[in-house]
């Protein structure tokens, strides 16, 4: 890692609006109610979508490049178009999905909570001790998967940031790259904030599986941007940052509640808040705004985006692991 890097609930069950009086329609109505009770997204998946949106924006910028002032404007709007708290909480939520999807951990949960009596006893223990998931067989493997995803994502963000800074130097040899911008820095920042408020959000397309009462999100079968292997950048075995232990405790707690099907909005709000990450993302966004406010040319904007919208954010994501 570089020094920067080291630095729902189910929706309320849908109730049938009316019950068919004719006995011939009872079976159809029951089947429809059962179908409607399966939501497109759980609350944890909805939260995770805020982080996945950033992955999608990185993909967009990487694919389209910076070949004109309009490209730079789109890249700015997308990379700056994230609420800091939602982004940081979304990372916690996505990490929990990664943990819940780890086969060894799912098997461990089936062993300790697969039967009705054992399940009740384990949930009672979980209520008393939020760190109980650490004792579940496979917990270490789940944490390892979370750390690996964090490091690989951070390196992917960092690499694109370095690439944009190289593009900034190349832009100085183009007519458009050194053409003074008509809009002021304040106007461009205001545009990015307007985009943030009105943009279309990512949605989860996750085919959840259920095996003996343990839910897994089947991320490998989801859209590519949702998969743990989204970043193809190789990584060694990461080690846990000493300051991130409590973060991973909450990740594992949410993963367990999700897998057992009893993650309430109240629990998600309490354990899914990532204040440390939110502060880090907010600082990155403030640095980006300060940098962009001082720019007069597209090549300067590209440098700001690479440094603050990507590499600073990479440090926030990678901070959980060394």
Q: What's the pLDDT tens digit per position in 124-137? A: 999 999 999 999 99
Where do we find the tokens 């899914």?
A: 272
Residue 322 has a pLDDT of 63
Contacts by 123-130, CB closer than 8 A, 24 or more apart? 123/260, 123/262, 126/253, 126/256, 126/257, 130/249, 130/250, 130/253, 130/271
Taking a C-beta distance cutoff of 8 angstroms, is the pair 65, 301 a contact?
A: no
Residue 246 has a pLDDT of 86
Residue 207 has a pLDDT of 84
pLDDT tens digits for range 147-193: 999 999 999 999 999 999 999 999 999 999 999 999 999 999 999 99
Walk along the chain (322 residues) and give the pLDDT tens digit of each residue: 433 333 333 333 333 332 332 233 333 333 333 333 445 789 999 999 999 999 999 999 999 999 999 999 999 999 999 999 999 999 999 999 999 999 999 999 999 998 999 999 999 999 999 999 999 999 999 999 999 999 999 999 999 999 999 999 999 999 999 999 999 999 999 999 999 999 877 777 788 888 889 999 999 998 999 999 999 887 666 766 666 678 999 999 999 999 999 999 999 999 999 999 999 999 999 999 999 999 999 999 999 999 999 999 999 999 887 6
Give CA–CA dist 115/155, Å, rounded: 41
pTM (predicted TM-score) = 0.85
Residue 240 has a pLDDT of 61
Whole-angstrom CA distances from 248 to 45, 204, 316 are 18, 23, 15
């Amino acid at each position: 890692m570089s020094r920067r890097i080291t630095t729902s609930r189910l929706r309320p069950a849908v109730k049938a609006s009316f019950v068919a009086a004719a006995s011939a329609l009872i079976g159809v109505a029951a089947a429809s109610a059962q179908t409607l009770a399966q939501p497109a997204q759980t609350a944890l998946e909805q939260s995770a979508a805020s982080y996945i949106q950033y992955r999608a924006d990185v993909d967009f910028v990487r694919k389209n490049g910076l070949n004109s002032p309009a490209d730079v404007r789109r890249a700015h709007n997308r990379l700056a178009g994230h609420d800091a708290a939602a982004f940081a909480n979304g990372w916690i939520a996505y990490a929990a999905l990664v943990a819940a999807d780890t086969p060894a951990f799912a098997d461990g949960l089936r062993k300790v909570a697969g039967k009705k009596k054992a399940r009740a006893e384990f949930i009672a223990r979980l209520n008393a001790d939020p760190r109980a998931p650490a004792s579940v067989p496979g917990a270490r493997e789940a944490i390892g998967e979370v750390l690996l995803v964090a490091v690989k994502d951070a390196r992917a963000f960092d690499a694109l940031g370095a690439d944009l800074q190289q593009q900034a130097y190349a832009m100085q040899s183009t007519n458009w790259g050194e053409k003074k911008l008509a809009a002021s820095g304040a106007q461009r920042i205001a545009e990015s904030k307007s985009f943030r408020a009105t943009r279309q959000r990512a949605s989860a397309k996750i085919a959840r599986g259920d095996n003996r009462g343990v839910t897994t999100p089947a991320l490998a079968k989801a859209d590519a941007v949702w998969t743990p292997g989204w970043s193809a950048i190789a990584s060694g075995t990461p080690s846990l940052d000493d300051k991130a232990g409590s973060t991973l405790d909450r990740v594992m707690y949410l993963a367990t509640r999700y897998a057992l099907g009893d993650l309430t909005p109240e629990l998600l709000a309490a354990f899914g808040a990532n204040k440390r990450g939110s502060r880090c993302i907010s600082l990155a966004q403030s640095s980006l705004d300060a940098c962009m406010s001082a720019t007069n040319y597209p090549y300067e904007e590209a440098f700001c985006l690479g440094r603050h919208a990507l590499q600073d954010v990479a440090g926030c994501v990678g901070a959980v692991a060394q």
